[in-house]
Amino acid sequence: MTELAELFLCAVGVLLLRLFILSFARVKGRSMLPTLENRDWLLVWRLSYRTGRPKRQDVVICRYPGRCWRNIRFLPLSFVKRVIGLPGETVEVIDGVVHINGRPLYEPYLDPRRTRFQRNRPPITLGPDEYFVLGDNRDSSNDSRRVGPLKRQAIRGRVCFALRPLNRILKIR
């Protein structure tokens, strides 16, 4: 095999790995504080949702319908959020507290200083293939409260690790 063929096969392998199994993403913004910080590098396990479904409180990479880089359709923007509502559930926000099917959701990852603006959201019942996602920094997050529920295909992968500057690695649970 020639060197050019080996290089081509290696490039195809890396591309397939990135598209279907594992990829990296970079946090831009503060919508996931305190869990993730601006400029964290994320290791995204894309295979997890090819064989399973997102679970409540998974931190995920997702795409919002119609949101593209500089309005170029084939360059969709990716966002990092937390899965809150699952298919068939009713999600409501009362005085800043998320309720699932009428019961308050326990969210130990939230920082009360980042949920000062007590917002309400009327109840929404998710369809059979819909998910409700929120940022951990509720005061500064563009999420399902604004863009609505996401279809399953919009969730691209689960965040496994955050690689922080100064060689700090944070496992995401």
The full DSSP string for 139-162 is: GG--SHHHH--EEGGGEEEEEEEE
Please indicate whether residue 141 is annotated as part of the active site. Answer: no
CA atoms of 94 and 104, how far apart (whole Å): 9
- Per annotation, catalytic residue among 48, 78, 81, 141: 81
Residue 52 CB burial class (10 angstroms; 0-12, 13-18, ≥19)? exposed
| Residues 61, 82: Cα–Cα separation, whole Å | 9
For 136, half-sphere exposure in the C-beta direction (CA atoms, 13 angstrom radius) is 21
Residues 6+ away with beta carbon under 8 Å from 81:
31, 32, 59, 60, 62, 133, 134, 135, 141, 143, 144
Write down the catalytic residue from 31, 48, 78, 144.
Answer: 31
Does the active-site annotation cover 140? Answer: no
The amino acid at residue 46 is R
List C-alpha distances in Å: 169 to 61, 82, 160.
18, 19, 10
So which residues are the catalytic ones?
A: 31, 81
